[in-house]
């Protein structure tokens, strides 16, 4: 399961791995259920094994521990981006004589989206519900960025947005969401439809680069 191309999502995401305590009562049976029904296909740590086997007597504590790990990784990623990614992208945009707007939708967007590619591939491979998780991550992160992060940035650093560029970006975002909605009406994504997403992004880049002059 977990593959999107050409097959219905509902078929690929037929439940196979569930909360073990919905089916068994004891901690030992829960561990056996997880090991047999929820295989860890990639990665070093078996997180479900940690919750239901290694720390099976205290699953709530294991959940808190994993939550702390997520927080630490998020802080680690933010520090790395602030210390290495953003300065490199700034230098690259200046060398290429790009405006801030063009640099934001090319280099900065690429740097921000590159980890999502690997995390979604890993999610799709590692879990029977990986396709659902990857799709949820895309939509959830888009909602997070366009609402919470945008609001926090606006409150922290008040600024005025150029209406033309902002309207263009919002229009393409709405187009991509409508295209995703239309594609998933039949619960499947074909190779041609997947190529359409990539083509839409390159169309967006073309409009941005041609419509916004370079600085210098």
C-alpha distances (whole Å) from 116 to each of 119, 120, 126, 139, 190 are 5, 6, 15, 12, 21
Handedness of CA 117, 120, 126, 130 (dihedral sign): negative
Mean pLDDT, to the nearest integer, of 187-191?
81
Mean pLDDT, to the nearest integer, of 192-199?
90
pLDDT of 169 strictly over 50: yes
What pLDDT shows up at residue 5? 47
Mean pLDDT, to the nearest integer, of 132-146?
78
Reported confidence tier of residue 9, pLDDT bands at 50, 70, 90: very low
Q: Please indicate, yes or no, whether the overall pTM of this predicted structure exceeds 0.75.
A: no
Helices 191-211 and 163-183, interaxial angle, to 10°? 170
**If DSSP codes are grouped into helix, strand and coil, which group holds residue 55?**
coil
Q: Which neighbouring-strand residues pair with 5?
A: 189
Could you tell me the two tokens for 8? 């219905």
Cβ atoms of 197 and 177 closer than 8 Å: no
Mean pLDDT computed over every residue of the chain: 76
In angstroms, rounded to a whole number, what is the distance separating the alpha carbons of residues 168 and 142?
Answer: 17
What pLDDT shows up at residue 196? 92
Mean pLDDT, to the nearest integer, of 152-156?
83
What pLDDT shows up at residue 199? 92
Is the pLDDT higher at 208 or at 101? Answer: 208
Q: Which residues contact 104 (CB under 8 A, 6 or more apart)?
A: none
Mean pLDDT, to the nearest integer, of 111-123?
72
Mean pLDDT, to the nearest integer, of 207-216?
62
In angstroms, rounded to a whole number, what is the distance separating the alpha carbons of residues 17 and 210?
Answer: 49
Residue 146: DSSP 8-state: I
Q: What are phi and psi of 46, to 5 degrees?
A: -90, 100
Reported confidence tier of residue 42, pLDDT bands at 50, 70, 90: low
- The closest alpha carbon to 108, from 99, 18, 41, 38, belongs to 99
What pLDDT shows up at residue 214? 42
pLDDT of 6 strictly over 50: no
pLDDT of 206 strictly over 70: yes
What pLDDT shows up at residue 8? 41
């Amino acid at each position: 399961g977990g593959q999107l191309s050409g097959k219905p999502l509902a078929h690929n995401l037929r439940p196979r791995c569930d909360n073990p305590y919905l089916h068994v009562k004891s901690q030992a049976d829960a561990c056996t259920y997880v090991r047999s029904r929820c295989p860890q296909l990639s990665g070093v740590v078996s997180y479900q094994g940690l919750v239901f086997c290694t720390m099976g007597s205290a699953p709530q504590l294991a959940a808190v521990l994993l939550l702390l790990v997520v927080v630490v990784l998020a802080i680690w990623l933010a520090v790395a981006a602030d210390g290495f990614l953003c300065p490199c992208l700034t230098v690259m945009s200046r060398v290429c004589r790009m405006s801030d707007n063009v640099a934001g939708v090319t280099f900065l967007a690429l740097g921000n989206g590159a980890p999502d590619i690997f995390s979604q591939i890993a999610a799709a491979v590692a879990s029977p519900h990986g396709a659902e998780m990857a799709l949820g991550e895309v939509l959830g992160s888009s909602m997070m960025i366009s609402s919470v992060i945008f609001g926090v940035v606006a409150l922290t650093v008040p600024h005025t947005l150029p209406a033309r560029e902002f309207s263009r970006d919002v229009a393409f975002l709405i187009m991509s969401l409508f295209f995703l909605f239309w594609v998933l009406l039949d619960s499947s994504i074909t190779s041609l439809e997947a190529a359409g997403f990539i083509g839409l992004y390159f169309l967006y880049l073309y409009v941005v680069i041609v419509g916004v002059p370079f600085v210098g």
